[in-house]
Structure 1
Amino acid sequence: MSPVSGGRKPAKRPKSRRSLRPRPPLDVARVERWPKLLHGPIELSDCVVHGQVDQDLVVLAAKLTAGKRSVGVEVVVNDREVDVIELHAVPEDALAVLRNGFEVTEAPLTPEEFRSQVESALIAKADRDAWIRERVPELLKLGTDPRPDLPERAVQLRRWLGLPAYEPLPRMSSADPLPLVLPPPVPVTGFRLAVALAEPDDAIWRRLEVRSDVTLAGLHRILAAAFDRDEREYHRFETAYGGFSVDAQSCEGDRFDDEVTLGQVITSPGHRLVYEAESWRHWIRIERLVALPEAPSCLDGERAAPPAACEDHQSYEMLLEALRDPYDEENEGLLEELGGYGFDPEWFDKEVVDERLARLG
């Protein structure tokens, strides 16, 4: 018997009305309900970018907090454009989009970097949609948009992130977007880059570490070594600040690639640019910032680059088909024409690539 109660049963405390009410689930599906989810100043935290090494697709994720309520926001960026915007009642769910069954790389972002990358992707999407409405409006009639509420979601996300309203320009995402004025060089650091050819079904890619103050002309030499190409071939970079090429006079609006550093056109994990070598198109993405490397190096990769005789994706596919039956009389001619003798499409040797990089000096 308790010396305090003296055997008396404690009086029952009345249950509060609040505890009797079942807590309603957080509905994040309908856009018109989004403004009701968060009230007051928005705090942005847990910002990350992650993606698969062999795809030009990344997910920007973060936690939005107002008062005592938090939600997760997931922004899928595909080829520099916003493709999906989703909210998650459990913030951690926004960080697990690509982790289920995929090998992904992930890097933290500052809130400023997250806002900048979301804004760039929103602008690219808005510009492309404006171009379609102005130039080929009949495309809008061919089928229903799988994400018809994406513009509404974009507007609300802009408000939460404090991004200014934007009046789109009717241009394609591949066109040279503004601004053309280059930012000043940032403090020198190291970049871990994922570089992959855009077209083959079996990904051909390299993971490299380079200095941020390398010029785009110098980066071209590094990429030529990484993919075993002649560095004298024509090449061009497409960036958020316009085009840069070895022969700027042949492309209207381009500037020379030795006039800009890599760190001026991409600055943080998730940022991307396009690299063209002859008729082969590549994408380049920063995976993470690293310690300043003494020299460029190759960390990983898969598959050999197409032989020099393969001028485009179609000829490369013909070569792969011929390699499946190399003793066929017709295929023998193709192998000779397309540089297929001794070529192994699955070959990759990191040490060989590093030896080529070391010879760059």
Structure 2
Amino acid sequence: MPVTPGVYRRFAEPSGQASSVLLGTFERAGRIDGFAVNIDDSDCHAAVDVVLFPGEALEQVVATIEDNAREHGLPITGAHLDPDEFRWQAERALSARAAHDADLGPDEIAAEYEDGDEPGYHQLAVLLRARVRTLPEPARPPAEHLDDEIELFTRIATETSPRRRAPGAKLPAKRKKSDGPAPVFQLKVGLRDAKPPIWRRLEVPADTGLADLHTIIQVAFDWDDSHLHAFETGYGTFGAADPELGHQAERPVTLEQVAAGAGGRIRYTYDFGDGWEHDILVEKVLERGSEAYPRCTGGRRAAPPDDCGGIWGYQRLVEIIGDPAHPAHTEMREWLGLDHADEFQPARFDAAEVSRSLAARFKR
């Protein structure tokens, strides 16, 4: 679902040399997200922090900024910005902060991911960066330090993975014919941050290639396979080969090479914009039976539809469809292609139906 630009404002001291705040809103899938970027204009106009707030609370945020300024005797001026100007100023702030953070170690960046449920600066900076890229291109030259920002964001995506290992970890050799038939891995694939939980239990041969595992997950969660994806493992990140992002080619790699045996864990991300992250756990190693593989033996709840704005957008979608009086109810129902709201059944799941779809896709 496309992102709709909202309201963009800047508050600053008249001198323009101390600090300022950028405010902007973006609407997607019936949800309005607001971002406040606190900027140190005396330090290369670098972002100090990014705050995410409900877009409907924009005027409250503005009032808070003005009240705080009066309380501390600080003169401030406010101005509305065109979307392209907001993009330029936001990119400048994020890029300058990225250049300043270039010396941060992996553990310092990863610590943000471990401090409770609230996202830290670098996570929100990635999200804001994705949103501002939907705005018109600025007429001015790009903000400085862009290469540093891309490098840092790539590090965030790779170095903060809980499955990372010391640099240089060598990928185990692929199974040989002389090793005999591969066993079957029982996998639990859970959609991260989903409440109530959304998961699938799958049985797949251990020597299944990551490219096929991608397809299996797409079928199991009823995704459209219309976006990029990647597998984060202790041996690197695999997907469509992309040196800039640090992604290695997934096609030559098998599941058992990156998750050897019970307890092995990897992560699968689908759609880097919405950020559908799936935790994959090898629950058991089973002897190969006469059943057709891959197959689904359990799970819970329907998966979100593609392009609904990530897990937060999906939660909002469920709320809107469940409330016929909501102003966006009809729009969201039509976007889903439903004649009636009761056709939307987020609690529904049928493992046998998934197995049939897998059998049709992987005919042997």
The TM-score with structure 2 as length reference comes to: 0.50
Match of 1:67 in 2: none
CA distance in 1, matches of 2:108, 2:229: 32
Q: Aligned equivalents of 1:311 and 1:355: distance in 2?
A: 29
Structure 2 CA distance for partners of 1:174 and 1:287, relative to 1, 3 Å? closer
Partner in structure 1 of residue 285 of structure 2: 289
Match of 2:218 in 1: 224
Contact 2:321 2:332 in 1 (8 A): no
Cα distance per residue 1:133-152 (max 9 Å; x no partner): 69989x99xxxxxxxxxxxx
Bigger Rg, which one: 1
Structure 1 portions without partners, runs of 5+: 1-128, 141-170
Residue 328 (structure 1) shift: 3.4
1:93-104 matched pairs, under 5 angstroms: none
Please report the TM-score for the alignment, with normalisation by the length of structure 1.
Answer: 0.51
CA contact (8 A) 2:270 2:277 kept: yes
Using the alignment, how far apart are the partners of 2:358 and 2:111 within structure 1? 46
- Residue 182 (str. 1) matches residue 182 (str. 2): no
Q: Deviations over 1:96-116 (max 9, x none)?
A: xxxxxxxxxxxxxxxxxxxxx
Q: 1:203 matched to which residue of 2?
A: 197
The superposition leaves residues 2-58 of structure 1 with CA deviations (integer Å, 9 ceiling, x where unpaired) of: xxxxxxxxxxxxxxxxxxxxxxxxxxxxxxxxxxxxxxxxxxxxxxxxxxxxxxxxx
Secondary structure of the 1:217 match is: helix
Q: Which protein has the bigger helix share?
A: 2
CA-atom RMSD, angstroms?
3.0
2: CA distance between counterparts of 1:348 and 1:179? Answer: 41
Instruction: Report the Cα offset of residue 329 of structure 1.
Output: 3.7
Secondary structure, counterpart of 1:264 in structure 2:
helix
Question: For each residue in 1:331-350, what CA deviation from the matched residue of structure 2 results, as whole angstroms up to 9, or x when unmatched?
Answer: 22233335675221001011
The runs of 5 or more residues in structure 2 that have no matched partner are 1-103, 116-158
| SS of corresponding position for 1:289 | strand
Q: Is the 8 A contact 1:190 1:211 kept in 2?
A: yes
1:321 alignment partner in structure 2 = 319
| CA drift at 1:309 | 3.5
Number of residue pairs aligned between Structure 1 and Structure 2: 202
Between stretches 327-336 and 258-267, larger displacement belongs to: 327-336
Match of 1:172 among 141, 155, 160: 160
Tell me what 1:331 maps to: 329
C-alpha deviation, 1:259, in angstroms: 1.4
Q: Secondary structure at the match of 1:359?
A: helix
Give identity over the alignment, percent: 34
Query: What's the secondary structure of 1:179's corresponding residue?
Result: coil
- AA at the equivalent of 2:332: L
Alignment of 1:1-361 (within 5 A): 131-132=106-107, 172-173=160-161, 176-177=164-165, 178-186=167-175, 187=179, 188-245=182-239, 247-249=240-242, 251-278=244-271, 279-292=275-288, 294-337=292-335, 341=341, 342-360=343-361, 361=363
Q: What residue identity is the alignment partner of 2:248?
A: R
Query: Deviation of residue 220 (structure 1)?
Result: 0.6
